[in-house]
Amino acid sequence: MNVYWQSGLALVLSLLSALLLYLGSPNQQWFKKRYIKFYPALLLSLILLCAAWWLLRSHLSGLSAVFTIFTALMLLLGLLPFTARLSKPSTKGGKSTLVRSKSYAEYQTKWWSRVLGALVLGFPLALFTSSLIGLTYDVSEAADVRAQFIMWMITPLWLMPLCFIFFTHKPWRVFLSLLILSACLYGVLGQVGIGG
C-alpha cells in the first residue's frame, strides 16, 4: 500500500477514534441520548488507535507514529465539541432545537476549575510519560534529536487531559486518575534512576 494511503487511512482511523470518544461522552451534544456508553467507546477508540499506529509504523519510527497520533487526537478532541456550534439552532414554537441531554439543565460546568485542574495535573503526567518514552528511544540516534523529540512530546501529552476533562460530568475522577498515574510514573522513573 502506498505511504500516502497508509498515512491518510491512519488519520481517518484517528478521526473515527476521536468521534467514538466524543459520542460516548456524557457531554456530547449531537444526539439527545448517547448511543454508546463511555467505556465501550473508549475500548473501540483504543483499537482504532492501535490500527492507526500500526499503519504509521510501517513508514515512521514507533515513537514518531505515537507523536503523530497524539497530536492528531489532541487537535480532533479539542475541536469536536465545537462542531455542535456550527449550526445555528432554530426556534420552533419558541423552543430551541439545540440538542442537549436531560441532565444538562442541572449540570454545573465549573469550566475554570476543570481547565486549571487539567493543566496543573496534566503537566507532571506529560513530563513523566515523555521521560519514559525517551528511555525507549533508539540510543544510536543523536542526543540532540532525542532531546528534541522528548521535549516536543510533552505538548500533546499535556494537552490530552485538557481535552478529556470536558468529556465527563465528574472531573474529580479524571483528576484522581491523573494523580495516580503521575505517582505511578514517578515511581517507575525513580526505579530506573531518573527521578526520585
Mean of pLDDT over the chain: 78
Give the amino acid at 171.
Answer: P
Does 152 have pLDDT greater than 90?
Answer: no
| Long-range contact pairs involving 49-57 (C-beta distance under 8 Å, separation at least 24) | 49/13, 49/14, 49/17, 49/73, 51/10, 51/13, 52/9, 52/10, 52/11, 52/13, 52/14, 52/17, 53/10, 55/6, 55/7, 55/9, 55/10, 55/13, 56/6, 56/7, 56/10
Q: Give me the residue label for grid cell 426556534.
A: 91
Give the range among 3-17, 74-88, 159-173 with minimum mean pLDDT. 74-88
Q: Please give the pLDDT value at position 51.
A: 93
Q: Give yes or no for a contact between 5 and 58, defined as CB atoms under 8 angstroms apart.
A: no
**Whole-angstrom Cα distance, residue 187 to residue 191?**
6
- For the cut 50, the answer to whether the pLDDT of residue 196 exceeds it is no
pLDDT score for 180? 93
C-alpha cell of residue 177: 486518575
Cα 122 to Cα 190: distance, rounded to the nearest angstrom: 19
Residues forming a β-bridge with 96: 91
Share above pLDDT 70 across residues of the chain, in percent, rounded to a whole number: 80
Phi, psi of 86 (to 5 degrees): -70, -35
pLDDT tens sequence across 17-69: 988 888 888 777 677 777 888 888 889 998 999 999 899 888 887 777 888 88
Above 80 in pLDDT, residue 110? no
Query: What distance, in Å, lies between the first and last C-alpha atoms of the chain?
Result: 46
